[in-house]
Structure 1
Amino acid sequence: MSENQLDPEMIVSLKDILGDNFNSLIGQFEEDGQRRVDALGPAVRERDYDTINKQAHGLKGSARNLGANLLAEHCDVLEVAGKAQQDANLEQTLAAIQQAFAAAVAELESHRT
């Protein structure tokens, strides 16, 4: 795994396109992402597959838009499991999402302008 949680080219591109609004994008990602990660915990424990699918899908899209590809990959795994209503590895995948989200947020913070 690369040390970067974010695609550096995507970050440069977003900064160029968004300018002063880049910091706002970071804030929105952090807020929405944390809400989704927080919702996934109970959903995984309760095997609420609809919520797992919905929250993992939403977080995956946000992560891809920011170039947080590792986070997006973990979300994809959880989304697929939610759609298939598979119990295997839900907790481990959630833990990977929580870790990747925290690392992506930390890296994003270093890019604030």
Structure 2
Amino acid sequence: MNDGLIDQRVLAAARVELGGNFVRILGYFKEDGIKSVRGIEAAMRDQNAATMVLPAHTLKGESRQFGAETLADLAEGIEVIARKCVETRDVPTEALEHVARLRPTFEATLAMLDRDTNPLAVRRPTGFGKRPVAL
């Protein structure tokens, strides 16, 4: 069970497309994601919408690459609010709820990706014709 955090089809396609580079690129996603989450949180504390846009945009795009749709949608919501605030010269208080959910969602997503991509994970069959899932 992955609670809908990861679209397994997108993750499988990324694995095929990236081939031998998959693990390395996934590592970059984790590193960049940590920086993006920190940047978004700092921008929220500073009430600075302009500095919130780029890390939210980056997190959104990189999350989609690995099928982390819930995280991508959350980052996109933050980005949209931040862009609107930049245009209206307002503070991003509307993004607070999204930002509060960001770190727990990011951490849960990383845990799910680690579980789903760990070659040493014990897998159990889900039934005839179905892909095994990690325990």
Separation (CA, whole Å) in 2 of partners of 1:11 and 1:94: 25
Which residue matches 2:118?
112
What code does the residue aligned with 1:87 have? P
The alpha-carbon deviation at position 69 of structure 1 amounts to 0.7
**Paired residue for 2:95?**
90
Q: Which amino acid aligns with 2:72?
A: A
Identity across the alignment (%): 28
Q: Secondary structure at the match of 1:48?
A: coil
2-side partners of 1:112 and 1:16: how far apart? 15
> Any idea what the Cα deviations from partners look like across 1:56-103, whole Å, max 9, x if unmatched?
111101111111111111111111111111534322111212121111
Q: Aligned partners of 1:25 and 1:108: how far apart in 2?
A: 13
For 2:103 and 2:55, the matched residues in 1 are separated by 13
CA distance in 1, matches of 2:104, 2:78: 14
Residue 3 of structure 2 is aligned to residue 11 of structure 1: no
TM-score (norm 1): 0.89
Give, in whole Å, the separation in 2 of the partners of 1:14 and 1:90.
30
Q: Is the 8 A contact 2:61 2:72 kept in 1?
A: yes
Q: RMSD between aligned alpha carbons?
A: 1.5
Change (3 A) 1:18 1:87: closer
Structure 1: gaps (5+ residues): none
User: Relative contact order, CA 8 A, sep 6+: which one is greater?
Assistant: 1
TM-superposed deviation, 1:112: 3.1
Larger Rg: 2
The 8 Å contact of residues 52 and 79 in structure 1, kept in 2 or not, is answered as yes
Runs of 4+ in 1 over 3 A off after TM superposition: 86-89
The structural deviation recorded for 1:31 is 0.1
Q: Distance in 2 between matches of 1:112 and 1:25?
A: 14
Match of 2:106 in 1: 101
Q: For 2:118 and 2:27, how far apart are their aligned partners in 1?
A: 10
Q: Which moved more, 1:60-69 or 1:8-17?
A: 8-17
Asked if structure 2 preserves the Cα contact closer than 8 Å seen for 1:60 and 1:75, the reply is yes
Aligned residues between the structures: 112
